[in-house]
Amino acid sequence: MDLYQPLDFFELDDLFTEEERMVRDTVRAWVSERFLPGIMEHFEAGTFPMDLVPELAELGVFGPTTPEEYGGAGLNSVAYGLICQELERGDSGLRSFVSVQGSLVMWPIFAYGSEEQKRRWLPALAAGKAIGCFGLTEPDAGSNPGGMRTTGRRAGGDWILDGRKMWITNGTVSDVSVVWARTDEGIRGFLVEKGAKGFSAPEQKHKWSLRASVTSELVLEDVRVPDSARLPGAEGLKAPLSCLTQARYGIAWGAIGAATACFDEALRYSKERIVFDKPLAAYQIPQTKFADMATRITHGQLLAWRLGRMKDDGRLNPSQVSMAKRYNVHLGLDVARICRDILGANGISLEYQVGRHMLNLESVITYEGTHDIHTLAVGAELTGIPAFR
């Protein structure tokens, strides 16, 4: 039985609409009842529960901000953020699966795709009948996506794609991959379908983080795709970076979910664990830790809420997303580490959540922009002087 009691020290529920709370509570209940009972086994086995994909689709969490005419739920950004928060309360791998599907596959198709591409792919992706992935990161091009070596060249009415992508969530199980390549016309995006000749997506194994997530390499060897597979509205590096802004927004919320899961578990544990004839929670050092963690989590909750409202108002800029992703993931990782310590030896057991969240967040703080890169993004916005080189 999941006894989760979310931290809401400043009664932030008052800031959400009735619909936003309803969406959050529906996803929260599903995570508790359907996902959490099996996550320990999946994390240990290094597998993702693909059998739950139809249920996720039924919940409407795949591309929930996509308009209803394309199969989405037409929700606002705050509701989507709350979805990410509750999914990552379950596991970062679960939020990653959903985030990639919606923010990194459905969003670029909606934003940059042709009407034919939208009609073909968006309803199928929203219904979970098709799975997608986002191919940008390469072995030698992580923080510098402009250094990508994957190429695309015209061949009559087609394109020939060559290159490799690394650390691609969902790649092995995807039906369509959004692949970014350098062409004579600049950086362009292409929809590469599963089974295309010369295209493969071997799974990357031997991970100690994000184990309940499919991580893959994408290999493109003279892969021929028609010009109709090109995203016509995606021109230049700005296009894939705009997709990452969408995904980073969800991460800022998701990290709060992981942090509150750890906080709640450690708080309950400290009240039950007897040390020198009284509960661990009765001592000053644990209480100091809980006060500090609650304060930082509350900061993160307010930051995510404000970010969502600005996004819905159309006033968001990427550096604000960088600040939220940077701060919230860092606090999530710190909270997970402190809670792991509070649980003592039990903190390394998969019978508890904190160690799993701690390991996962070591990946989340790195992917879709490392902590340091987001620091420089915020610094550049504040000073007007880019320090990336």
CATH assignment of the domain containing 353: 1.20.140.10
- Report residue 388's pLDDT band, with 50, 70 and 90 as the boundaries: confident
- Separation CA 144–CA 317 (nearest Å): 20
Q: Which residues of 8-38 are buried (b: 16+ CB within 10 A; e: fewer)?
A: eeeeeeeebeeebeebbeebbebbbeebbee
Q: Does residue 194 sit in the same domain as residue 266?
A: no
- Separation CA 105–CA 128 (nearest Å): 12
Q: Does residue 66 sit in the same domain as residue 202?
A: no
Q: Does residue 52 sit in the same domain as residue 142?
A: no
Q: If 0-12 CB within 10 Å is exposed, 13-18 middle and 19+ buried, where does residue 341 land? A: middle
> Which residues, 6 or more positions from 292, have their beta carbon under 8 angstroms from its beta carbon?
none
- Separation CA 53–CA 127 (nearest Å): 9
Q: Does residue 91 sit in the same domain as residue 159?
A: no
- Report residue 1's pLDDT band, with 50, 70 and 90 as the boundaries: low
The encoded tokens of residue 97 equal 């699966």
Number of folded domains that form the chain = 3
For residue 265, the cross-strand partners are: none
Q: Does residue 148 sit in the same domain as residue 95?
A: no
CA 154 and chain centroid, separation: 33
> Which residues, 6 or more positions from 34, have their beta carbon under 8 angstroms from its beta carbon?
52, 55
Structural domain of residue 283, as residue ranges?
Answer: 238-383
Over range 227-239, report the average pLDDT.
97
Q: Which of 20, 58, 368, 381 is catalytic?
A: 368
At residue 307, does pLDDT exceed 90?
Answer: yes
pLDDT tens-place string over residues 241-255:
999 999 999 999 999
In a domain, 142, yes or no: yes
- Report residue 212's pLDDT band, with 50, 70 and 90 as the boundaries: very high
Q: Is 21 helix (H, G, I), strand (E, B) or coil?
A: helix
In a domain, 6, yes or no: no
The encoded tokens of residue 58 equal 């039924």
> Tell me, what CATH number does 139's domain have?
2.40.110.10
Report the residue count for the chain. 389
For residue 132, the cross-strand partners are: 176
In a domain, 348, yes or no: yes
Over range 256-269, report the average pLDDT.
98
Choose one of 108, 126, 144: the last residue of a domain: 126
Q: Does residue 207 sit in the same domain as residue 252?
A: no
368 has catalytic annotation? yes
Q: pLDDT exceeding 90 applies to what percent of the chain? A: 98
Over range 270-277, report the average pLDDT.
98
The encoded tokens of residue 323 equal 């600040």
Q: Does residue 325 sit in the same domain as residue 202?
A: no
Over range 68-95, report the average pLDDT.
98
At residue 338, does pLDDT exceed 90?
Answer: yes
Q: Does residue 245 sit in the same domain as residue 363?
A: yes
Q: Does residue 186 sit in the same domain as residue 251?
A: no
Q: What pTM was computed for the model?
A: 0.97
Choose one of 207, 229, 251: the last residue of a domain: 229
Over range 152-156, report the average pLDDT.
97
DSSP 45-92: HT---GGGHHHHHHHT-SSTTS-GGGT-----HHHHHHHHHHHHHH-H
In a domain, 388, yes or no: no
> Tell me, what CATH number does 41's domain have?
1.10.540.10
